[in-house]
Structure 1
Amino acid sequence: MIQSILPEQWQDRLSIPVVMAPMFLVSGPEMVIAGCKKGVVGTFPALNQRTSEGFEQWLIQITEALTTFEQETGKKAAPFGVNLITHPSNPRMEADLALCIKYKVPLIITALGAMRSVTDQVHQYGGVVFHDAINIRHARKAADANVDGIIAVSAGAGGHAGAINPFALIEEIRGFWTKTLLLGGCINRGHQIHAAQVMGADLAYVGTRFINTLESRAPEGHKTMILESTADDVVHTPAVTGVPSNFMKQSLLNSGYDMKALLDQGHIDFGKKLTPSGSDSSKAWQDVWSAGHGVSGIKNIVSCEQLIEQLVLEYKNSNCR
């Protein structure tokens, strides 16, 4: 059995070394609670709630549900986490961070800007900070910000993904990083989680596979498109959100995107992107569906409980080979 480098607060709380990646407009309290109860770190983006007031209600819902679970079962739930976009264009960053501090959210996942000030505030209440990194430059910035874990988002991951092979990305980061390291990109099965650890990661960062669960907030069309897609149906482009990301080609076509223009650099502005549904800018978030190359291995829609039990069994079997 491979020994993972995990935050001290997480010891004996995971059934499998997996963090459920936060997915925009897909992850919600239902999926987070279901994952944490089964020993997987459940996370969601703060911006999945359209206001900070709504975000606070989700924090209350998750905290109360997991507290009740532990009281009734005598078992420890896995920690839960919140993804904060720390880019200057996010107008809610400070307000949402204040709520995370208020409710002592166990894990904060920062993206689009590693900030020492955020890390320090989370550490003050005993929380943990992980940061997304698609290359060695981002990883070193995260290390300078004193984060507790670096998420190596490799080629083929869903959402804001990198373009570097996972073998190379893990090798480069491990050259200087001795704390918790996560690997994201095309991880659907238990033996792939084991493989990530063999490569040098401590935890697998699994996103796309959880889109096709009953607790996912993705529309049925999104889930069906995943069932029908292969890796060739995923397009890596900065044109939608301003950051290079992976999206399903058919959803881009359905939304009227010019396929020839998809390599044009977009503009990052989360204030504009958070305008009410119905405006043109909301199309980037609601009509275009993200997924990674892992769509190739997804053939069904199951509950989080069923999926995690399958992952645990596959993981244990792969460790016995």
Structure 2
Amino acid sequence: MLKARALPKVLQNLRLPAAAAPLFIVSCPDLVIAQCKAGIIGSFPALNARDEPGGPVMLEVWLKRITEELDRYNQHNPDRPAAPFAVNQIVHRSNERLERDIDICTRWKVPVWITSMGARVEVNEAAHSCGGIALHDVINNTYAKKAIAKGADGLIAVAAGAGGHGGPQSPFALVREIREWFDGPLLLAGAVSTGEALLAARVLGADLGYIGSPFVAMDEADADPAYKEMMVKGGAEEVMTSALFTGHPGNYLRDSVRRAGLDPDNLPKDWDASVMPDDSPLPKAWREIWGAGHGIGAVKSVGPAAEVVDRIESEYRAAIERMRAEIC
């Protein structure tokens, strides 16, 4: 295995070696700001900032608020500054906003760019042009190599158990294969909901854990109260995998499928997966069919996002001490 290199400055000096995953529809400025102030990288999908007819460009509004509020916080807390934030760009050809959103993020000098659904040279170049870094979602080693070849600075290994469009591979296999040739920034997604899981991700070779599901249930998240309640009540066995709703395998809460009037154990078999989600007569993924990862058993209550970070930090430090005691 290659010796890990020093991380880019933007990924250093975090309270915890962790980033919050961008949650479609759920992540919003309140949540991102809370995550950053708590000491981990906060993030949101650019497409969450939805424009209203005749209204302002909401991505501009969101970036202005996040940037200015974090700047004010840092001025008042020079000894414990906020972590940087990230914006997720869906680079699939179906994203008609991509070019516009790239220009906006470049202007606002977004420090961390997360790209999904395809690797694009021009997006990575835009990130670099404003001093940012680009991290790309991958579910296997082949996609990882393609992303780095196209100029990504780092990778997010989306392993089995991740919420939303989780990958099928074990994190043990996926991280190992990537680390055989890549010594740059590597994040691991897939049930990283506890401090023990975060430490395990580091032991495997990841630089940071990628935390998603616990933040759905937080006060600052823009999630339906019923969604938050399901996250609190659920465990890994309540998560099902289906490609029905988007044409790509995704992990969803079984109760949300039932709530939408479908039987999770007997889903339709004759839906044309080539039909884009907006054209489907089925309930809409993310808005009606709610994503979740296998780590939801760690979600015990609704509360401030900072409490998630506090809990994971406490568990992480305790796990390090247990391992140190056993090994030494």
What TM-score do the two structures reach when normalised by structure 2? 0.90
Kept after mapping to 1: 8 A contact 2:245/2:282: no
Q: Find out whether 1:96 has 2:101 as its counterpart.
A: yes
State the match for 2:160 in structure 1: 155
State the match for 1:267 in structure 2: 274
State the Cα distance separating 1:320 from its structure 2 match: 2.1
Kept after mapping to 1: 8 A contact 2:166/2:250: yes
State the Cα distance separating 1:312 from its structure 2 match: 1.6
State the match for 1:276 in structure 2: none
Q: 1:228 aligns with which of 227, 233, 236?
A: 233
State the match for 2:62 in structure 1: 58
Deviation string 1:86-123 (CA, Å, 9 cap, x unpaired) is 00011111111111001000111000011111111111
Percent identity between the two aligned chains: 40
For 1:32 and 1:4, locate their aligned partners in 2 and report how far apart those are by CA, in whole Å: 28
> Partner letter of residue 186 of structure 2?
L
Kept after mapping to 2: 8 A contact 1:7/1:148: no
For 1:320 and 1:230, locate their aligned partners in 2 and report how far apart those are by CA, in whole Å: 27
For 2:73 and 2:297, locate their aligned partners in 1 and report how far apart those are by CA, in whole Å: 35
State the match for 1:299 in structure 2: 300
Structure 1 residues 7, 230: closer, same or farther in 2, change over 3 A?
A: same
> Partner letter of residue 293 of structure 2?
G
Runs (5+) with no aligned partner, structure 2:
323-328
Query: What RMSD in Å do the two structures reach over aligned CA positions?
Result: 2.1
For 1:15 and 1:268, locate their aligned partners in 2 and report how far apart those are by CA, in whole Å: 43
State the Cα distance separating 1:266 from its structure 2 match: 2.5
Q: For 1:164, what is the secondary structure of its paired residue? A: coil
For 2:118 and 2:140, locate their aligned partners in 1 and report how far apart those are by CA, in whole Å: 13
Structure 1 residues 4, 232: closer, same or farther in 2, change over 3 A?
A: farther
State the Cα distance separating 1:293 from its structure 2 match: 0.9
Deviates more, 1:128-137 or 1:15-24: 128-137
Q: Find out whether 1:181 has 2:182 as its counterpart.
A: no
Runs (5+) with no aligned partner, structure 1:
274-278
State the Cα distance separating 1:140 from its structure 2 match: 1.3
For 1:55 and 1:282, locate their aligned partners in 2 and report how far apart those are by CA, in whole Å: 27
Deviates more, 1:307-316 or 1:195-204: 307-316
Structure 1 residues 234, 195: closer, same or farther in 2, change over 3 A?
A: same
Tell me which stretches of 4 or more aligned residues in structure 1 moved more than 2 Å.
3-6, 8-12, 256-270, 279-285
State the Cα distance separating 1:23 from its structure 2 match: 0.4
Q: For 1:105, what is the secondary structure of its paired residue? A: coil
What TM-score do the two structures reach when normalised by structure 1? 0.91
State the Cα distance separating 1:4 from its structure 2 match: 8.1
For 1:128 and 1:281, locate their aligned partners in 2 and report how far apart those are by CA, in whole Å: 37
Figure out how many residues of one structure are paired with residues of the other and give that number. 313
Deviates more, 1:309-318 or 1:55-64: 309-318
> Partner letter of residue 233 of structure 2?
E
Kept after mapping to 2: 8 A contact 1:150/1:181: yes
Q: For 1:59, what is the secondary structure of its paired residue? A: helix
State the match for 1:32 in structure 2: 32
Deviation string 1:230-258 (CA, Å, 9 cap, x unpaired) is 21221111111222111111111221345
State the match for 2:205 in structure 1: 200
Structure 1 residues 187, 299: closer, same or farther in 2, change over 3 A?
A: same
State the match for 1:129 in structure 2: 134
